[in-house]
Amino acid sequence: MAELQPDAVAGEQKYAEVAAAAADTLVGLDFDGTLSPIVEDPAAARIHPDAASVLIALASRVKALAVVTGRPAGQVVELGGLSAIADALAEMGKELYVFGQYGNERWSGSDRVVAGPPPPEGLGAFEAALPAVLAEHGAQDAYIEEKGLAVGVHTRKFSDPDGLAARLLPPLTSLAAEHGLMIEPGKQVIEVRAPGMHKGHAISTLIDEVDPGAILFGGDDLGDIEAFEAVKAWGKTTGSPTLLVYSHAGSDRGPLAGLADLEVDGPEGVLELLGRLAADAAAV
């Protein structure tokens, strides 16, 4: 078992409580770094090859599954093969929810259309000013990810990706603010998007719609913190079981360290844990 637990006894206890309540559990999962291994080219990311079988097995034992991602919803449906997974879930009367762009977009297995707002007003002007700011910091070759509602500036291909991202953070924060936008820092990426939405809001919407008796959420990066907080707050208010899972690469512990109940070794570890949950739930 590839679990790297911050507190083995407490983590196992929380796992056991969620496993006992599996039939009433909402499982929410981030995509990049959680279901899909991190790769250099964002367009080359794909869901882990074991994900479909594990998620389908798990869905038969839990109340609902959701993917909650910073990616555009339509893109994650494509990269994750989520239509086929939604088909399998529909056959067992289960729903697959997808929240994209940090909760701004929605897609589901029963309504296969992406719903979301128009691009934020200041995005065009921000993008027009971006090349000059990047050039000032020697980052003119940064990969720019056009996301429709947002734009991502990726530094992964540079020799010092974290250092460059740290240097770009203040000027991009100022430029974003000038255009009524906010920044969402991630793994060697700085995303610029409209304020007012985050993954915690997506979790609250899911709680209202699914009415779960327990929640498991798995994530790997800064953008998952609000989801962790929303799940934790809900568990505290309702007294219901919750399990927060941090997916990270080996000993490379990052921003969610100390916030999770269980730590696992990347998508491989996430799927191992979810497979274990499906098996344990079957035995209840």
Ligand X SMILES: O=P(O)(O)OC[C@H]1O[C@H](O[C@H]2O[C@H](CO)[C@@H](O)[C@H](O)[C@H]2O)[C@H](O)[C@@H](O)[C@@H]1O
Under the rule (CB under 6 A), what is the footprint of ligand X?
Answer: 30-33, 38-40, 42, 45, 69-71, 145, 147, 152, 154, 156, 186-189, 191, 221, 223
**Residues with Cβ < 8 Å from 225, sequence gap 6 or more?**
255, 256, 259
User: How many CB atoms are closer than 10 A to CB 111?
Assistant: 11
For residue 184, give the 3-state DSSP assignment.
strand
Give the residue ranges of DSSP H helices in the chain: 8-20, 51-59, 73-79, 82-91, 123-136, 161-178, 199-210, 225-238, 266-283
The minimum distance between CB 37 and ligand X, in angstroms, equals: 7
The minimum distance between CB 212 and ligand X, in angstroms, equals: 21
Position of minimal CB gap to ligand X? 70
Between 31 and 281, CB nearer to ligand X = 31
Between 133 and 144, CB nearer to ligand X = 144
The minimum distance between CB 243 and ligand X, in angstroms, equals: 19
Q: Token pair of 106, please?
A: 């929605």
Q: Token pair of 152, please?
A: 């991502």
Q: Token pair of 66, please?
A: 């959701």
Between 16 and 250, CB nearer to ligand X = 250
Between 21 and 97, CB nearer to ligand X = 97
The minimum distance between CB 91 and ligand X, in angstroms, equals: 26
Given CA atoms 119, 180, 182, 200 in this order, what sign does their dihedral have? negative
Between 61 and 147, CB nearer to ligand X = 147
The minimum distance between CB 12 and ligand X, in angstroms, equals: 26
